[in-house]
Chains A and B, each alone.
Chain A
């Protein structure tokens, strides 16, 4: 894998500058002086071995954690100074590897809850949620069932639907197709591509899947806490 260090650009929607991160109680930096930029209208994938720091990087981008040093900024504003709850609720949509759904409610209620937290202006949120789930291949009957009664693939799609529910500018996904069959994987990747290329959103996907990297406009690789551009079609 040949990489070059990506420099933050002026037009980047999301930018990282010299970001380092170390887990509390440890003595090793998981991320070491990472700089990268993510632009709207492109699908970005981050690849790397297990334990290379992909998910840690994702959590910093998602505003779930803060960098030890350096800066993560969204539209030019440092997340350290921003209201990160609001950022998570409105500006980004996260598809977690472990789904992280609210388990004691139905699929549709998960979507509605996310829209409520984001302060979505949609009037009929429930109907909007059903439509979104239907678009991802979950019918009304399944949508009304508790999420734990759904299969892993269905839960993954609920997670994706939730990430899209409040119309975020950035979609961040951690292994979003890991639990999906090939056909559904294609459908989902089609959705991500559409979001990036047609709706001009910034899509960031952490993956091991070659198929996912094939549809990416920019492929970034992480190795030993360092990041580099593996491929860029932009």
Chain B
């Protein structure tokens, strides 16, 4: 017990040299705190990304391969690319994979609401052209053959992204959940005095990819369960302006309602699917599975690497910098602390000699010095944690800004954009070659924003790790002291002194 008390007193008595040693320890600990806060937070973000964004799968047709095939089969005339298709049932089957965390589907089709007036009805309806794939909300191009069916509105299933970003707000009622439940825009509701609880019927048609007669379909008793305010632009980026293209005429429902009239032999109902892997690491397994279920070789199965690069690369760079910095500081700091400890012990040689002459064992002298190191280190640990916590955020912001700029430069460079290609990467569902349904996976260019802010924090485990580092530093100082003490014989020390 007296060893502890004596050590505590000695820390104060030798405050001059302890301040020097403490300052060095403070720098090492504070730097370690900052580095570990950045590292642990970065790791968390990277893991989180991998768990969410980085695992989105895209099926992208290999255009180059298609060109080569078309060129080889051609007779010298104009080359026609036969875009491959994937059967809708296959897409649904892919969604059952054990490697997927989730599969989000959206479906849409043109409709003509019976006995309802639609917004911009005077501009006429739109064609039954097929969207060029991609996810809902992306720009669509349309083909409009002469015999196209004219639609006045769109029935869209599972397309609720605008409610997440706030551009659409539910003004009344509730979101559609059951079969045949729909919500309509407030403009469409006003035009027709529609209220929640009202029902209406809509008709439509499925197109024959072989040029045959369209197949008439109808959606009976669509029940209005809500009305939404639409803050999006009426036509967005769509150059065509008619009732069909007007977003106020979008009747929103669930996917099952739209697919009620799905017929794999016909086109006219476009479906998108977004697959999310349980982990980016199972991509190969998932690809093997979908290949076995019939995914043509012409489709490449990829994850959204550009989003990964955009979001994660700065964080990984930051993590790398902080880890390297921490290692350097620990190594240099360790050496400096060892040297300072060695010097401090040499200065206390006489004191040690006296204690040894009084009969204090080497082990107790060493223990006392080690406890002094521990007390000093514990003090520096508290101060270092406080200082580190204070400085970590601004340091992180500065470092991250540099990393984001570097990542942006890298992604702007030619050839580095992954999954873009204008085709939206959803080409698998494009029935350009006369396939059955407009069914394709979501994907393509990422709208991922680079991480510009990183709120660093330190978990109890992180504090434990830093305490361990501090303990190692204290022990290092103690070991230096002990190794010195073993060389000291009291008689020699006292003789030198006297």
Which residue numbers of A lie inside 8 Å of B, CB to CB? 59, 62, 64-65, 85-90, 94, 96-98, 100-105, 109, 112-114, 116-118, 162
**Shortest Cβ gap from A163 to chain B (Å):** 10
Question: Does the CB pair A113–B14 fall under 8 Å?
Answer: no
Report which of A64, A87, A162 forms a contact with B490, defined as CB distance below 8 A. Answer: A64
Known: A113-B6, A117-B359. A104 touches B14 (CB 8 A): yes
| Residue interface bits B350-383, CB-to-A below 8 A is 1, else 0 | 1101111111111010000000000000000000
Residues of B near A105 (CB, < 8 A) are: 9, 13
Residues of A near B2 (CB, < 8 A) are: 112-113, 116
Question: Does the CB pair B498–A97 fall under 8 Å?
Answer: yes
Question: Does the CB pair B355–A102 fall under 8 Å?
Answer: yes
Q: How many angstroms from the CA of A198 to the CA of B242 in the assembled complex?
A: 124
Secondary structure call for the B interface: helix
Question: Does the CB pair B494–A96 fall under 8 Å?
Answer: yes
**Shortest Cβ gap from A208 to chain B (Å):** 16
Q: How many angstroms from the CA of A116 to the CA of B490 in the assembled complex?
A: 19
Residues of A near B494 (CB, < 8 A) are: 64, 96, 98, 100
Residues of B near A87 (CB, < 8 A) are: 359
Q: How many angstroms from the CA of A78 to the CA of B76 in the assembled complex?
A: 113
Q: How many angstroms from the CA of A113 to the CA of B2 in the assembled complex?
A: 8
* Interface membership of B491, Cβ < 8 A: yes
Question: Does the CB pair B359–A89 fall under 8 Å?
Answer: yes
Question: Does the CB pair A59–B351 fall under 8 Å?
Answer: no
Residue of B with least CB distance to A162: B358
A-B contact pairs, 5 of them (CB 8 A): A89-B359, A96-B357, A100-B357, A104-B10, A116-B6
Q: How many angstroms from the CA of A116 to the CA of B9 in the assembled complex?
A: 15
Question: Does the CB pair B354–A102 fall under 8 Å?
Answer: yes
**Shortest Cβ gap from B364 to chain A (Å):** 8
Report which of A64, A98, A104, A117 forms a contact with B13, defined as CB distance below 8 A. Answer: A104
Question: Does the CB pair A100–B354 fall under 8 Å?
Answer: yes
Residues of A near B14 (CB, < 8 A) are: 104
Question: Does the CB pair B357–A117 fall under 8 Å?
Answer: no
Q: How many angstroms from the CA of A109 to the CA of B358 in the assembled complex?
A: 14
| Residue interface bits B5-23, CB-to-A below 8 A is 1, else 0 | 0100110011000000000
**Shortest Cβ gap from A193 to chain B (Å):** 25
* Interface membership of B487, Cβ < 8 A: no
Residue of B with least CB distance to A91: B359
Known: A64-B491, A105-B13. A98 touches B357 (CB 8 A): no
Residues of A near B359 (CB, < 8 A) are: 85-90, 117-118
Known: A64-B490, A64-B491. A117 touches B351 (CB 8 A): no
Q: How many angstroms from the CA of A109 to the CA of B12 in the assembled complex?
A: 15
Report which of B358, B361, B362, B498 forms a contact with A113, defined as CB distance below 8 A. Answer: B358
**Shortest Cβ gap from B400 to chain A (Å):** 48
User: Apart from A109-B9, A162-B358, what are 4 other A-B pairs with CB-CB below 8 Å?
Assistant: A64-B491, A65-B491, A88-B357, A117-B359
Q: How many angstroms from the CA of A90 to the CA of B358 in the assembled complex?
A: 9
Q: How many angstroms from the CA of A163 to the CA of B351 in the assembled complex?
A: 17
Question: Does the CB pair B9–A101 fall under 8 Å?
Answer: no
Question: Does the CB pair B361–A85 fall under 8 Å?
Answer: yes
Q: How many angstroms from the CA of A127 to the CA of B48 in the assembled complex?
A: 65
Residues of A near B490 (CB, < 8 A) are: 64
B448-475 interface (Cβ within 8 A of A): none
Question: Does the CB pair B358–A88 fall under 8 Å?
Answer: yes
Q: How many angstroms from the CA of A104 to the CA of B352 in the assembled complex?
A: 12
B301-358 interface (Cβ within 8 A of A): 350-351, 353-358
Known: A87-B359, A89-B359, A116-B2. A101 touches B354 (CB 8 A): yes
**Shortest Cβ gap from B454 to chain A (Å):** 48
Report which of B9, B360, B498 forms a contact with A85, defined as CB distance below 8 A. Answer: B360
Question: Does the CB pair B491–A104 fall under 8 Å?
Answer: no
Report which of B9, B361, B498 forms a contact with A98, defined as CB distance below 8 A. Answer: B498
6 closest Cβ contacts across the A-B interface?
A: A89-B359, A88-B359, A116-B2, A98-B498, A64-B491, A104-B13
Known: A65-B491, A100-B494, A105-B13. A94 touches B351 (CB 8 A): no
Residue of A with least CB distance to B497: A98
Residue of B with least CB distance to A163: B358
Residue of B with least CB distance to A98: B498
Q: How many angstroms from the CA of A123 to the CA of B2 in the assembled complex?
A: 13
Report which of A85, A98, A104, A112 forms a contact with B351, defined as CB distance below 8 A. Answer: A104
Q: How many angstroms from the CA of A164 to the CA of B360 in the assembled complex?
A: 17
Residue of A with least CB distance to B5: A116
Question: Does the CB pair B498–A89 fall under 8 Å?
Answer: no
Residues of A near B10 (CB, < 8 A) are: 104
Of A96, A100, A104, most buried by chain B (CB within 10 Å of CB) is A100
Residues of B near A104 (CB, < 8 A) are: 10, 13-14, 351
Q: How many angstroms from the CA of A89 to the CA of B358 in the assembled complex?
A: 6
**Shortest Cβ gap from A217 to chain B (Å):** 27
Residues of B near A86 (CB, < 8 A) are: 359
Residue of B with least CB distance to A97: B498
Residues of A near B358 (CB, < 8 A) are: 88-89, 113-114, 117, 162
B470-488 interface (Cβ within 8 A of A): none
Q: How many angstroms from the CA of A102 to the CA of B354 in the assembled complex?
A: 7
Of A94, A101, A102, A103, most buried by chain B (CB within 10 Å of CB) is A102
**Shortest Cβ gap from B419 to chain A (Å):** 71
Q: How many angstroms from the CA of A162 to the CA of B353 in the assembled complex?
A: 16
Q: How many angstroms from the CA of A114 to the CA of B14 in the assembled complex?
A: 20
Question: Does the CB pair A102–B491 fall under 8 Å?
Answer: no
Residue of B with least CB distance to A93: B358
Residue of B with least CB distance to A114: B358
Q: How many angstroms from the CA of A64 to the CA of B493 in the assembled complex?
A: 11
Residues of B near A85 (CB, < 8 A) are: 356, 359-362
Q: How many angstroms from the CA of A100 to the CA of B360 in the assembled complex?
A: 14
Q: How many angstroms from the CA of A118 to the CA of B489 in the assembled complex?
A: 19
Q: How many angstroms from the CA of A7 to the CA of B361 in the assembled complex?
A: 33
Residues of B near A109 (CB, < 8 A) are: 9
Q: How many angstroms from the CA of A105 to the CA of B354 in the assembled complex?
A: 13
Q: How many angstroms from the CA of A103 to the CA of B2 in the assembled complex?
A: 18
Residues of B near A90 (CB, < 8 A) are: 359
Residues of B near A162 (CB, < 8 A) are: 358
Q: How many angstroms from the CA of A14 to the CA of B13 in the assembled complex?
A: 39
**Shortest Cβ gap from B19 to chain A (Å):** 15
Residues of A near B350 (CB, < 8 A) are: 103
Residue of A with least CB distance to B2: A116
Q: How many angstroms from the CA of A85 to the CA of B356 in the assembled complex?
A: 7
Q: How many angstroms from the CA of A103 to the CA of B497 in the assembled complex?
A: 13
Residues of B near A103 (CB, < 8 A) are: 350-351
